[in-house]
Structure 1
Amino acid sequence: MPPRKPVSATPTRSTRATGRVTLADVAEAAGVSPITVSRALRGERAVAQELCERVQAAATALGYVPDPAARALASSRSSHVAVLIPKLSNTLFVELLDAVQNSLVPAGYQTLIGVTHYDAGEEEAVLRSFLAHRPAGLIVTGRDRSPAAAALIEGSGVPCVHVMEIATEPGSYSVGFSQRQAGRAITQHLLDSGRRHIAYVAAQLDPRTLERGEGYQEALAQAGMAGQVRKVLSAEPSSMALGGAMLERVLREAPETDAIFFCNDDLAQGALLASLRLGIAVPDRVAVAGFNDLPGSDQMVPPLTTVATPRRQIGEQAAQMLMKLMRGQPVDEPNLDLGFQVVKRASA
């Protein structure tokens, strides 16, 4: 066996000229061809173990970092997955993102995170920017978007999975649950507990929030109370402070209200804090229910009745579904409904 060629960490001419260690530099240091370096770093079985170790040693000694753009150009594939969410300040989406990352990274993918701020124009701009980089896949929040954004996704040919809702369009892929059914279920719980003057309080007013309100309205109609629908809506961002203010507004404008279904837990948490400050007995005077079972809801006084949504499971399953699509593998259930759970606590 010929003696093993020592690895040299001396910068080559290309390194000195550009300041970046290249594949050719690693090849020269390891005494092999650039294509062998590429195959060795990808861990292809056709490359001998001894050769892989030599290439890896050269790459480490030189501080070589693979260029993902060059790799994508060479293979017509990218290792990036673009994920679009409305807000990073919302715990719900942080948990979903964490689950997506935990599933994709071990498989060799990296995420590009785009924040749309619930704005159709921003979503279009983010999509145009990300699609220009030829991502391997897309994960987008919800299924309602502008015609321009929908055309961008469809025209790109990039595999796409919608999250937090169930898509119904042919050829679509989604992981989520029915926002409408969840809104109907929590309202039915309030009805079953004897409440007859139930208000629906919502902020932000994105499509999912509005669908929960439709579920609330359907539950009242089914109970023969269609004439008692009371929706109090605000376009402001959802927050605890707003929840307290809206509790006061509802009870001031409609003092007969005996239950409030808040579209999100942060609103409901704010309402519970305000009720303590104002001396409003919950649930005796008014029952309070939320949505999403966010951290802290079980620690409120009284603990908050809410709807638990499976955002971590949604993130995990969406990532798994997308990886199948990116690999050209069949997806058994293209629109996966993970359901929800009404969590009954002392507030309602």
Structure 2
Amino acid sequence: MKSAGKSGHRGKGRITLDDVARRVGVSAITVSRALNNPDKVSEALKERIQQAVLETGYVPNRAARSLASNASKTLAVIIPSVSNAVFSNVIKGIYDVCTPLNYEMIIGNTYYSLKQESNLIEKFLTHMPDGFITTGLDMSDDTRQRLEQSGIPVVQMMETGTREPIDMCVGISHLAAGREMAEYFIRKGYQRIGVIASQLDQRTRNRVQGFLSCVREHAPTQPDRVIADPRPSSVHLGGALFSELLAQFPDTDAIFCCNDDLAYGAIYECQRRHLRIPQQIAIAGFNDLEQSACINPSLTSIAIPLYSIGKTAAEMMLNRLKGQPTPTPVMDLGFRLIERESA
């Protein structure tokens, strides 16, 4: 027994714009206008066309529309982690700008791999996106050249200052943020200051570099108290790296954790060891995630305007696509050091 479905077109080929137009009794151009620019047709006609689309099962041909209009209304967004709370806030900022303007996003996850980033960009180029929003400035030279040659607008987000962007960028200086945390510890009187880091992407390395450069200036005779691990950042890893640092440098009196989840792990390990925070050892993090104000003791951290970075990246991109001038192709949104109980 054959089932044709509601439209009666199953097995008869792809439903076209002309099929919808005939059902409504208007031209295909009118249907196209209603679907792509709904504010340009009456509400009654828009409802009739939407009903016909449902009844026929029509699916717009995005590729054909892109070729006809030279615009896909799609942005390619590339981030290093879909599970990291840091990037969920950034993505929300992008969505809140793009969704009201009927832009869609195709999102790729690089897993912090430059090779995976290159593969994704090559794949996404075949979708003819109107623009790319990528993470960081440290892509491979071949990938950078590929994007430059594509002629497609690019916004690189999350960092500034380490390299000229391909086109536009928005973020913060991670070098300056790391240095600010070291200066804070020194002002508080800590003298044997360590740092633990994971993931070891360029932004993390910049935080460590900025932090250590300041510590070395103020305590040139002290050894570098650094434990770095390429594994993804996590609470569990934070406890392990904290233990490793204390095993090598048991007199450490303050530790900068390059991500908040590492700091949570360090705090839990202190509690297992009955170490008083901050009296015996101070702990600080980076990113100021929501839990950082709630953990006990509450965590001193560097706050990055994550939502604003995503929002600004989208605004920069859409302004460029509208042909509006970009007065500042590089935007540093700054950071704040949030002082709490842990340091």
TM-score, normalised with respect to structure 2: 0.92
Residue 124 of structure 1 deviates from its aligned partner by 0.8
Q: Which residue of 1 aligns with 2:310?
A: 315
Pick closer, same or farther for the CA change 1:276–1:257 going to 2, 3 Å.
Answer: same
CA distance, structure 1, for counterparts of residue 91 and residue 220 of structure 2:
40
The answer to whether the Cα contact below 8 Å between 1:11 and 1:25 also exists between their aligned partners in 2 is: no
Counterparts of 1:321 and 1:124 in 2: how far apart (Å)? 23
- Among 86, 90, 93, the residue aligned to 2:84: 90
Matched, 1:157 2:148: no
RMSD over equivalenced CA pairs, Å: 2.1
Task: Indicate how the Cα distance of structure 1 residues 57 and 240 shifts in structure 2: closer, same or farther if over 3 A, else same.
Answer: closer
Q: CA-to-partner distance for each residue in 1:132-163, whole Å, 9 max, x for gaps? A: 11101111000011112112211211111011
1:196 aligned partner? 191
1:124 pairs with one of 114, 118, 128: 118
Shift of the 321–229 alpha-carbon distance from structure 1 to 2, 3 Å rule, reads same
Q: Determine the C-alpha separation between the residues in 1 that align with 2:207 and 2:200.
A: 10
Cα pair 1:220 1:228 within 8 Å, conserved: no
The runs of at least 4 aligned residues of structure 1 exceeding 4 Å deviation read 10-13, 44-54
Specify every segment of 5 or more residues in structure 2 that has no aligned partner in the other structure, as ranges.
Answer: 1-5
Q: CA deviation at 1:21?
A: 2.9
The alpha-carbon deviation at position 46 of structure 1 amounts to 6.8
Q: Confirm or deny: 8 A CA contact 2:226 2:245 kept in the other structure.
A: no
Tell me which of 209, 213, 222 is aligned to 1:218. Answer: 213
- Please state whether the residue corresponding to 1:134 is helix, strand or coil: coil
2:144 and 2:166 in contact (8 A); partners too? no
**Contact 2:153 2:167 survives alignment (8 Å):** no
Name the amino acid aligned to 2:199: Q
- Structure 1 residues 277, 57: closer, same or farther in 2, change over 3 A? same
Distance 1:226 1:25, change over 3 A: farther
Equivalent residue letter for 2:129: P
Report if the CA contact (8 A) 1:217-1:226 is conserved: no
- 1:298 maps to 2:293: yes
Residues 340 and 26 from structure 1, CA distance in 2 versus in 1: closer, same or farther, beyond 3 angstroms? same
Deviation at 1:59, TM superposition (A): 3.1
Of 128-137 and 35-44, the range deviating more from structure 2: 35-44
Amino acid at match of 1:125: N
Task: Find the counterpart in structure 1 of residue 28 from structure 2.
Answer: 34
Q: Deviations over 1:9-48 (max 9, x none)?
A: x9587x7512x43211111112222122212333377766
Matches within 5 A, 1:92-107: 92-107=86-101
Output one character per residue of 1:48-105: Cα deviation in whole Å (capped at 9) or x when no partner: 6765555444334434342222211221211111111111111101111122112111
Mind listing any 5+ residue stretches in structure 1 that lack a counterpart? 1-9
In 2 relative to 1, CA 26–236 (structure 1 residues): closer, same or farther, beyond 3 Å?
Answer: same
Which of 133, 136, 139 is 1:139 aligned to?
Answer: 133
Structure-1 residue corresponding to 2:243: 248
Q: Matches of 1:46 and 1:268 in 2, distance apart?
A: 53
SS of equivalent residue, structure 2 residue 315: helix
1:241–1:49 distance in 2 versus 1, CA, 3 Å: closer
CA distance in 2, matches of 1:290, 1:47: 53
Query: 3-state SS of the aligned residue for 2:164?
Result: coil
AA matched with 1:263: C
Give the secondary structure class of the aligned counterpart of 2:129: coil
Deviates more, 1:115-124 or 1:61-70: 61-70
* Post-superposition CA distance 1:316-348 (Å, at most 9, x none): 111111111122211222111110000001111
Q: 1:250 to 1:224 in 2, by over 3 A?
A: closer
Deviation at 1:228, TM superposition (A): 3.7
> d(CA) in 2 for partners of 1:296 and 1:128?
37
More displaced 10-residue stretch of structure 1: 166-175 or 227-236: 166-175
- TM-score w.r.t. the length of structure 1 is 0.91
